[in-house]
Structure 1
């Protein structure tokens, strides 16, 4: 099984990867801090699960989500964002996200997200 982590913050990306490695054994994790690399990496690795930050320079997470959903409706996508507005949550769900986690992340939030999308 494969996971793609897309977040321009190196700290947030490393923290998420650490939490994922603690909770999931045997999963391959690919990551990028560049939103422009997200869709090509998605196409190359065909992840079962993607964690996607919304606020990144140059390419918005919403645009990445929308593009991925034009060719893949099955892969699970969890949006990770510091934006806690209800409108943002509604928008990303409408664009095809399976779940949204508010930053800062922790083990409990990740476990809830994984339970929600893997069941």
Structure 2
């Protein structure tokens, strides 16, 4: 059964790059969101069991998405993929329930390592 995977990033180029990094043969059903509001809507409708989330987005940023996921009780597995690699950002997202924090840009090798580390592949 396919895993509903949400890629939430305001950059079309970044979304495509994350999609290309997804390991071949990983059975996922991909939904794209261009901001946090679209992302939360997708999660609420069951399209974000697994989420690759950017932090800096219009309307609702990644921190806001993480807060809503937590307060609304969604069971999404969220990996933040962001260029903001300050230690404070990492601590904050982990405190809000993210599974991991990965530096942008991500490639297939790194994404495979992260997914394997958590038994998601």
Question: How far does residue 101 in structure 1 lie from its aligned partner after superposition?
Answer: 0.7
Q: Cα RMSD (Å) of the superposition? A: 1.6
Alignment of 1:60-75 (within 5 A): 60-72=61-73, 74-75=75-76
SS in 2 for 1:23: coil
> Structure 2: 5+ residue runs without aligned partners?
none
| Equivalent position of 2:89 in the other structure | 88
Question: How far does residue 87 in structure 1 lie from its aligned partner after superposition?
Answer: 1.0
| Equivalent position of 1:4 in the other structure | 6
Q: 4+ residue stretches of structure 1 with deviation over 6 A?
A: none
> Structure 1: 5+ residue runs without aligned partners?
none
Structure 1 pair 14–63 and aligned structure 2 pair: CA distance change class (3 A): same
Aligned residues: 118
Give the structure-1-normalised TM-score: 0.89
Give the Cα separation in 2 of the matches to 1:57 and 1:73: 22
The C-alpha deviation readout for 1:35-91, integer Å capped at 9, x for no partner, is: 221111111124321000001122111011110122335321000100111111011
| Equivalent position of 1:76 in the other structure | 77
